[in-house]
Amino acid sequence: MARPEQVLLLEPQHELKFRGPFTDVVTTTLKLANPTDRNVCFKVKTTAPRRYCVRPNSGVIDAGTSINVSVMLQPFDYDPNEKSKHKFMVQSLIAPPDMTDMEGVWKEAKPEELMDSKLRCVFEMPIENEKTHEIDSNKMMSSSLLKTESSTLSMKSMVSSLDDGEVKRIMEECKRLQMEVQRLREENKQIRQEDDGLRMRKSPVMAAQQSSSSSVTVKEEGLSIRYLRQER
């Protein structure tokens, strides 16, 4: 079953326009008018609830009156190449004469009693801001291109400034450094071998000293025992 036509009059009817710059909160007004002789309940919903603050987002419009709804877009980084896909929906239903609980009325409402209207969001940037944004983008691109070209030129100039003689001299210096490193390695190896030889020569001498000191101790103990026996 088709839903009934919207009884509320919306202004604007199809689009909510937000004019930048979007560095601060941007507010647009949605007017809802009730031309009927009965009170009408309404709700305002959006596909991007975190991006907008709506006041009031629901309520009752008395017969023959209207209400202004403030739709506040939160600050964001505007990209002129990105199209807005945000949408709003105004949902309404005729309020019963003895209504005391509006939320209860919404919960008990039948689908064929609900009316809705949809609006899409449009972001507009002033011409001066668009030019500024374009100029800034061009400046960034130009600076990056200049940096790339300057680095390429500096590398080319360094290569071209080295003649054959300098290249040969650099190669000889590298070869000399390699030979010096090899010589130091050989010296280090020889020193280690000499240290190992000294350790090996010291080991027999220390063993002999230890054995001689042990024999002397034994002899001294034997003499002391004999001396004690003679005294007895």
At 223 the pLDDT is 47
**65, pLDDT greater than 80:** yes
Tell me the pLDDT band of 125, cut-offs 50, 70 and 90: confident
How large is the average pLDDT for residues 107-133?
Answer: 83
**156, pLDDT greater than 90:** no
Tell me the pLDDT band of 76, cut-offs 50, 70 and 90: very high
Tell me the pLDDT band of 3, cut-offs 50, 70 and 90: confident
How large is the average pLDDT for residues 69-84?
Answer: 89
135 or 111, greater pLDDT: 111
pTM greater than the 0.75 cutoff: no
Full strand arrangement of the beta sheet holding 40-46: 15-19, 115-124, 87-94, 40-46, 58-61
Residue count (the chain)? 232
* Beta strands 15-19; 115-124: pairing state: parallel
For 217, counting Cβ atoms within 10 Å of its Cβ (0-12 exposed, 13-18 middle, 19+ buried), the class is exposed
Cα–Cα distance for residue pair 138/76, rounded to 1 Å: 21
- Domains, the chain, ranges and CATH? 9-124 (2.60.40.10)
Share of the chain above pLDDT 70, in %: 69
164 or 220, greater pLDDT: 164
Residue 86 CA, chain-centre distance (Å), reads 25
How large is the average pLDDT for residues 215-232?
Answer: 49
Task: Extract the tokens encoding 167.
Answer: 């290249």
Cα–Cα distance for residue pair 13/67, rounded to 1 Å: 15
How large is the average pLDDT for residues 106-119?
Answer: 94
Yes or no: say if 110 and 4 are a contact pair by the CB < 8 Å rule: no
